Each structure stands twice: as C-alpha cells, then as structure tokens.
Amino acid sequence: MSRLLYVEGTVDRTCTQSHITYSFHIPQPTDTIRILFSYTPKLLEDQEQAREIIEESMSKYGYDEPGHSPDLWKKYMPLQNLLTLSVDDPLRHRGNAHRPEMQQEHWLGSSTASPGFLAGDNPAGMWRITVSLHAVVTETLVYQIHVLGEEATYA
C-alpha cells in the first residue's frame, strides 16, 4: 500500500459553496485506490449563531414572509457542516461521495467501487480529488484526505 496523497486543511464560513481541488500522481496502474476522508466538527452547537444563519437564509430565500412563526428557524436545527468529495482519474470523472458522515472511506477498484463511484482500471497519471464545501456553518472546520494505492496480491 502506498501513500498517494495526504492533506489537511482548515476552512471557515467564507468558504461555503466553494471547491478545493488537489492533484496527485499515480506512477503506475493501481489495483485499488482507497480514500479516507474526515472532517470536524459536524454541528454548530451555538444556538444563537445557528438562529442568525438560518434566519438570514430564510430571508434570502423568501421564508420570512408574514404569517410564519417566529420559531420557524428551529425546524432547520441542528445546523450542520457538509463537505463532499469527487474524484477524476487522468481520463474521466470517477464519481462523487455526497454523504453527510464526518468520517468516510471510499475505494475504486477494477471490478467494484464505493457507491457513487465508477469501477474500472486505475490508470497511471495525474488524478484529482475535489472537496466541495456545500456548507461551513462553524467558525472553522478541519478536514483530512488520505489517498492510498493498493497493488493486487497474487498467490
């Protein structure tokens, strides 16, 4: 098993609805690509900050019209961070992981792949992995991506 990429990053609320792309090189075709992805924290624990963010969004998208309950914002609690991954090999898009879990493990192999990804050969060349920051609601958020290459074992 070889390490192909390891990155850590810290983002804040200004990064919401943006993308961060990393490139990594695979020197020779690899049987399986494993991706370990994690981020923390998941929830915005401060209710007052959550209320402000939700009410601002409700105003922006027209949910604050007269007649709505002043406690309508509570319907959208708890407020959560949401980051997702997408992967491209040197030749094509291999898929996306749109999952809410803070710790995720994905794999891409020649005959199987994690849900959301395409199975197929893992060619040598420059690969890309993109973190989509759909929602960063906490002051800061820390993430890690660890990409490993596994060669086939033959008996």
C-alpha torsion 39→32→128→118, nearest 10: -90
Q: What are the phi and psi torsion angles at 148 (to 5°)?
A: -125, 145
Same domain, 31 and 51: no
Same domain, 37 and 70: no
Angstrom distance (rounded) from CA 148 to CA 2: 5
Same domain, 26 and 91: yes
Same domain, 52 and 99: no
Which residues are CB-contacts of 5 (< 8 A; sequence separation ≥ 6)?
22, 24, 129, 145, 146, 147
Same domain, 9 and 33: yes
Sheet containing 2-12: which strands, arranged edge to edge? 2-12, 140-150, 32-40, 103-109
Residue 52 domain boundaries: 44-78
Tokens 């491209």 sit at which residue?
Answer: 88
pTM equals 0.88
Same domain, 11 and 39: yes
Same domain, 127 and 97: yes
Same domain, 102 and 50: no
Number of domains in the chain: 2
| 32, 56, 78 - which closes a domain | 78
Q: What is the pLDDT of residues 104-141, one digit of tens each?
A: 999 999 999 999 999 999 999 999 999 999 999 999 99
Angstrom distance (rounded) from CA 20 to CA 129: 8
Q: What is the pLDDT of residues 138-149, one digit of tens each?
A: 999 999 999 999
